[in-house]
Each structure stands twice: as C-alpha cells, then as structure tokens.
Structure 1
Amino acid sequence: MGKVFDEIDVKLASWIEAQPLWFVATAPLSENGHVNVSPRGHDTLSVLAPRRVAWVDYTGSGVETIAHLRENGRICLMFLSFDSRPRIVRLHGSGSVLLPGDAGFDEVVDLHPDNPSTRAVIAVEVTRISDSCGWGVPVMDVREERDLLRLQAEKKGQVGMDEYRRQKNSLSIDSLPGL
C-alpha cells in the first residue's frame, strides 16, 4: 500500500535526485488533446524546498510540457527505482516555465552542469507526494548517459539552436503555444 507524504524530506529528496531516469506527464485541457509523457535524465533536477522541485529543460523535438504548463499548469513527475529496492514516487502539482532572464532561472541552471541545449527551467509547486510499491518495475543497470543533446547543440551553435527552436518548439502537437 502506498503512502502520502506531507513534504519532501531530506531522505526522500536525496532518493529523488539520485534517480537516473524519471518521467514527466502533462496534458492539455481539450479532451481531444494529446497526453504527453516524457523521460528525463542527466543531472538536471533539484529539490529546492519541501514542496518545490525544478529541472533544467533541454531542447527537444517537441515542446509539449512547456505548452501544457502554459495552458493549465497541471503536471505529474514519476520517479522509479531500478535497483534492488522497488519504489515509485509521484509528485503532483502545478508547474511553471522559466526562461532565460526570468527570476529563478539562473538559480536552477547554476546547480547543474552547463549544457548548450538548455532552453528553459520547469519549476513545480508540489501539491501531492505519494509512493507505491514498484514491484512490477524491473531491476536494471544504467550503463551511461547519452551525450547527444549536448553534442547536437554544440554542432548547431546558438544561431542554429535558435532556428531549431523556432521550427520545432513554437507550437505543440495540439497547436498550443510553446516557445
């Protein structure tokens, strides 16, 4: 049986930040819109307070999380243990998008390794924290991080990344505004 927590304590924060892979889920308000679930990794996430987390968001082929948050703010993060102790933790809350120059952007970016693919920071005010057994999650070993996002961004350069974001990140798949 799962447990609901009042806040992210130091022990839970340490566990969350140690997970090499986690997922973010968002959805538009439209019943015809597409629910989005995206994997995340790298050293990008920080627990900032007992009910506040944020991560550095890298440029990708889509902009669903940003578009959905700008429309309605609803978000769920899911962390899974792939080691010998099974566990799943979900953080539900309200998310916001911080762009370069916005208050709080540099605070989060400065906590993590520099990456030329950085496009935003996603901040989440957590309203519900719960865990469940995770007995159905396989035990797996992480071999290494992929460095393809950084390498692509370095190859394109700032001008190329700006153009890529204009082409690929201006609208979501449901035509909601992105970047």
Structure 2
Amino acid sequence: MSKVMKTIGPKLREWLLAQPMFVVATAPSEGGHVNASPKGMAGTFVVLDPTTVAYLDYTGSGAETIAHLRQNGRIALMFTAFEGPPTIVRLQGRGRVVIAGEPEFDLLRPLFSKERELGQRSIIVVECDRIADSCGFSVPHMEFVAERDLLDRHAARRDQAHYDRYWVERNAVSIDGLPALPVREADLR
C-alpha cells in the first residue's frame, strides 16, 4: 500500500541518498516526447530541505529535462530499491533549472561532491508537492557492483571550450524544438 508523505523526513532522506540511481521524468505541455532519464554518480543528489531536492546535471546527448522544465516545470524523480526491502519513492513537483555560471549555481554547487566539475551544465532544483512511496514488489533484487567511470574519463579528455561548443550544437533545443540551454552571443563566435 502506498503512503503519501508531507515531507522528506530523516529516514527517507537517508534512504534517498543511499540509492545509486534514480530516474527523472518530464514531458512537454502538449504533444512531443515524454523523457525518462536515468541519473547516478555518488554525490550528485542532495536534499535541500524537507520538500526540496536538487541534482547536479551533466552534459548529455540531449537537454530534454531542461527544455521541459523551462516550458512547464513539471517533473518526477523515481528512486527504486534494488537491495533491501522492495520500495519505490516518487518525488513529484515543480522543477527549475539553475545554469552553470549563474550566481545561484555557485551557491548550490558546494552542496555536491567536489569531483566531476567538467561537463556540469546545470543544477535541477525540485520543489516537491507530492512525496509518495509504493511497494516495489515487482522490482528485481539486484546487487550494486560499482559506479561507471566513463563520464569521468570522457570529461578528463575535454576542456570547457568543448562543452561551450557542444551546448550550442547539441543542447540548445530539445528533440521537439523547445528551447533548452540558453545560447549567449559569445557562444556563437
């Protein structure tokens, strides 16, 4: 039986922070493509207060979450226990994008792991209006082996100029043509 909670209490906070991955889901207001994006890497998710969470967003092949949040703000984060008691927790609410280089980004960034600075493009902040768990009885029991270091190794071979170009070329609009990362005049040179 699912339970809806008013806040993220200490026990739930500890559980959320212990999960090695979660899935982010967003969608455009009308038509278009629904997006579900897995997230991982220790130290990239934080609980800011009893109803607010955030995660560090790294450069990816698309920028659907950013585009959808800029358009309508709707977001859901789903955490699943692969070890221990079967549990699923969904954090649903309104999200906003804090772009790297903005003053708020600089305030929030120290809350995350100090590693992995190259390639970070934003912090996604979610104000949760629904916090609910469910049984997870059908989720397989799996063993966490290790984090992948592919993103870290990829970033180590790049410099900021690479990301500046990539964001303009690949992350400025969503697959449905919605604005995603802002393009500055300097980025076009």
TM-score under structure 2 length normalisation:
0.91
Retained in 2: the 8 A contact 1:76–1:91? yes
Q: Deviations over 1:105-133 (max 9, x none)?
A: 23432122331121100000000000000
Give SS of 1:34's match.
Answer: coil
2:53 is the alignment partner of 1:53? yes
Retained in 1: the 8 A contact 2:25–2:76? yes
Question: Quick one: structure 1 residues 98 and 150, their matched pair in 2 at CA, closer, same or farther if it must change by over 3 Å?
Answer: same
Retained in 2: the 8 A contact 1:55–1:108? no
The 5-angstrom pairing of residues 65-144 of structure 1 reads: 65-111=65-111, 112-115=113-116, 116-144=118-146
Q: For the residues of structure 1 that align with 2:29 and 2:110, how far apart are their CA atoms?
A: 33
Residue 173 of structure 2 corresponds to 171
Give SS of 1:146's match.
Answer: coil
- CA shift, 1:52, in A, is 0.2
- CA shift, 1:103, in A, is 4.2
Retained in 2: the 8 A contact 1:117–1:150? no
* Superposition RMSD in Å: 1.1
Give SS of 1:104's match.
Answer: helix
Q: For the residues of structure 2 that align with 1:50 and 1:102, how far apart are their CA atoms?
A: 25
Residue 147 of structure 1 corresponds to 149
Q: Deviations over 1:5-58 (max 9, x none)?
A: 01000110110011001000000011x210000000012000010000001000
Q: For the residues of structure 2 that align with 1:161 and 1:103, how far apart are their CA atoms?
A: 19
Q: Which amino acid aligns with 1:41?
A: G
Q: For the residues of structure 2 that align with 1:88 and 1:97, how far apart are their CA atoms?
A: 25
Q: Which amino acid aligns with 1:94?
A: R
Residue 6 of structure 1 corresponds to 6
TM-score under structure 1 length normalisation:
0.95
Q: Identify the range of structure 1 (15-24 vs 142-151) with the bigger mean alpha-carbon deviation.
A: 142-151
Give SS of 2:157's match.
Answer: helix
